[in-house]
Amino acid sequence: MWIPLFGRAGSPFTGREGRRLMRGSFLKGAVVGAACSVLRMRKPSASMIVALAVLLVALSGVGMAATGGAGSVKAMRAEIGKLTFHGEFAWSGQTLDCPAGVPDSVSCKVHRGSRVVPGLGTVTEKYFLLHEAGTGACQGAYAVIGLRGTLTVERRGTIEFEAAASPDCLLPEQRVTLHFPSVTITGGSGIYAGASGTGTLTKLLIPGTSGGAHGTDTWDGSLLVAGLAFDTTAPVLRGAITKTVVGPRGAKLVRVTYRVSATDETDGAVPASCIPRTGSRFKLGRTAVNCSASDESGNTASARFTVTVRARR
């Protein structure tokens, strides 16, 4: 019995892909037929042989195009993972020698800080703040000519970055906010090898003693890494439900236990912590219990439930 290939439910030859495969099949049949005709000839002419060779080359190209195989550049290109991140770091710093290649007229301060950044994990920043004697708008102060440093993600790798000059001046012994509107991610190591991206940095600098300083860094940007799927999903907390406990007659404090757990779709079971902890003594009445859990990528889930304690009458 004849069954139509076009339009039949479940047929591999339906739709755009099916039509493309069928076109490839018809062309292959035509080329094979032509080759057989030439081979049956006792003395095929040179022009026929050349034409056959051209058709065979065309046949190989049709096969790759129809199947989307090695000839498809798009299919071979690694998918790019993208993370839009935000982080606020408390940092401290001091004046140190500049890295190699920095002109003698430039002074350097090295700043370090650490923070959990969602989508990355525990991140440590370390970079050189490059500045020199100011001119023009920064006359009598320092012109900040750039940043150069690394973000180190615990157990995963590093992200290298640099920033162009800040439009703000660094004033001696004064609290100042520096803006870096053009931060560029220049590479990385570990799972961040080949990283790229852009961002901004807003820096609060508070002078300290003996040339030291401290403050906060606020980062916003986009990180791109080929072949990396960033984990941005928080764990799921279970067991954070309202609970009522009846204690002994005359008791003012009652020991309460509960069980709260957390599961992450990437890391599996992760620790959950609650305050007050399970097994604590709760006073009579209502007490709020706050729970949280974090995965290795710094994504955090939180939940809150109420424990009500009553004395037996």
Q: How confident is the model at residue 75 (pLDDT cuts 50, 70, 90)?
A: very low
Average of per-residue pLDDT across 137-156: 94
CATH number for 80-226 (one of 2.60.40, 1.10.287, 2.40.350, 1.10.260): it is 2.40.350
Say whether pLDDT at 166 is over 90. yes
Q: How confident is the model at residue 53 (pLDDT cuts 50, 70, 90)?
A: low
Q: Which of 36-45, 78-87, 296-305 has the lowest mean pLDDT?
A: 36-45
With CA atoms as reference, report the closest residue to 69 among 78, 60, 57, 82.
60
Place of tokens 């994990």: 121
Dist. CA 239–CA 43, nearest whole Å: 86
- Greater confidence (305 vs 53) lies with 305
Q: Please say whether the beta carbons of 215 and 176 come within 8 A.
A: no
Residues 235-246 pLDDT 10s? 999 999 999 999
Q: What pLDDT does 45 receive?
A: 65
Percent of the chain at pLDDT exceeding 90? 64
Q: Please say whether the beta carbons of 235 and 254 come within 8 A.
A: no
Percent of the chain at pLDDT exceeding 70? 75
Say whether pLDDT at 305 is over 90. yes
- Output the CA angle 224-227-233, nearest 5 degrees: 75
Instruction: Tell me if 80-226 shares its fold with 236-311.
Output: no
Say whether pLDDT at 60 is over 90. no
Average of per-residue pLDDT across 302-306: 98
The ranges assigned to domains in the chain are 15-76, 80-226, 236-311
Average confidence score pLDDT of the chain: 83
Place of tokens 């990180």: 223
Q: Which CATH class is domain 236-311?
A: mainly beta
Say whether pLDDT at 194 is over 60. yes
Q: How confident is the model at residue 52 (pLDDT cuts 50, 70, 90)?
A: low
Residues 18-47 pLDDT 10s? 444 344 444 455 555 655 565 555 566 666
Say whether pLDDT at 311 is over 80. yes
How buried is 42 (Cβ within 10 angstroms: 0-12 exposed, 13-18 middle, 19+ buried)? Answer: exposed
